[in-house]
Amino acid sequence: MKAFVSVDLEGMPHVVIPGHLNLKGSLYNEARGIATKVTIAVADELNKNGFTEVVVADSHGPMVNLLVDDLPEYIELIRGTPRPVSMVSGIEGCSVAVFLGYHAKFGTIRSTWDHTYAGRSINKVEVNGVAASEFLLNAYVAGEMDVPVILVAGESQLLKDDVEKYAPWAVTVALKQSLSRAAARSFSMIRIEKDLREAVKRAVANFKQNRVAPLVPKKPARVGITFRATHFADVAELLPTVNRTDGLNVEYTATDIIEAYRVFELLVIASLGVEMGSENLK
């Protein structure tokens, strides 16, 4: 069997300041080490429980965060961006999915580094009228490919707000309890690794006993995006399939969630280009 693991950074334990989250950050190497330890613990337990292959999608920022020298031989690592369906690229053909280091959507109270996919440009994303976190977007893509999400480990508010609501069969592990946007409490890495290994065992048992299900959205997929500034919407509406409804909001309809995700990814990349262009004009 083959398992898929998507790894983000903001929901990792002990990761709390901007210096943890970018390539030049003062504590970026610490965050990389934490994420790698979490990933290896989960992958090792998956391997011990029958998954001979583990596909890991490095999925934060530039998507080159994990320390590759420490990865075991049964892991296949996906790195870099852009790539098809972004944070869940490589999930096709896998039996189960695991999301690690995931965080709450933008605007969540007392939640470390709450954002939705692109914090600088995106305020809200709705899929068929439901405000979506990165967890929900990615779980929908997994479901479209008939892959159930069996375990989510990350920031506690995400687990309460989204995972328990939309994927109640998924085993959850709170890697941090947020105190504010830039403060949180976490157990030691020794305790966290133990909790993750036990969670993997329970999640795999649920899968083998048919207690999990793919999370499949309705078709067609109707997407609404609220941008954080009007110039992002200015560019988004240049795409003929996108309808602008007001200064900050656009909407479009796609055949399925995978097509919808790809359009969304394109609009995010376009927003990044707009922002970089604006900076160069200063």
Cβ pair 15, 54 in contact under 8 A = no
193-245 tens-digit pLDDT: 999 999 999 999 999 999 999 999 999 999 999 999 999 999 999 999 999 99
The two structure tokens encoding residue 148 = 């159930």
pLDDT score of 131: 97
Kindly state the greatest CA–CA separation across the chain.
59
Q: Is 4 helix (H, G, I), strand (E, B) or coil?
A: strand
Q: Which residues pair with 180 in a beta bridge?
A: 183
The two structure tokens encoding residue 155 = 């920031």
Question: In which band, very low, low, confident or very high, does the pLDDT at 273 lie, cut at 50, 70 and 90?
Answer: confident
Q: What DSSP character marks residue 125?
A: E
Average pLDDT value over all residues in the chain? 97
84-109 tens-digit pLDDT: 999 999 999 999 999 999 999 999 99
Residue among 12, 5, 31 nearest 154 (CA): 12
* Domains of the chain, earliest start first: 2-105+133-208 (3.40.50.10780)
Give me the mean pLDDT over the 158-183 stretch: 98
Burial 256-269 (b: 16+ CB within 10 A, else e): bbbbbbbbbbebbe
pLDDT score of 274: 84
Cβ pair 27, 19 in contact under 8 A = yes
Question: In which band, very low, low, confident or very high, does the pLDDT at 32 lie, cut at 50, 70 and 90?
Answer: very high
pLDDT score of 119: 92
Residue 116: pLDDT over 90: yes
Residue 178: pLDDT over 80: yes
Cβ pair 43, 98 in contact under 8 A = no
Q: pTM for the whole thing?
A: 0.97
Distances in whole angstroms, Cα of residue 230 to Cα of each of 183, 226, 260, 274: 31, 10, 21, 11
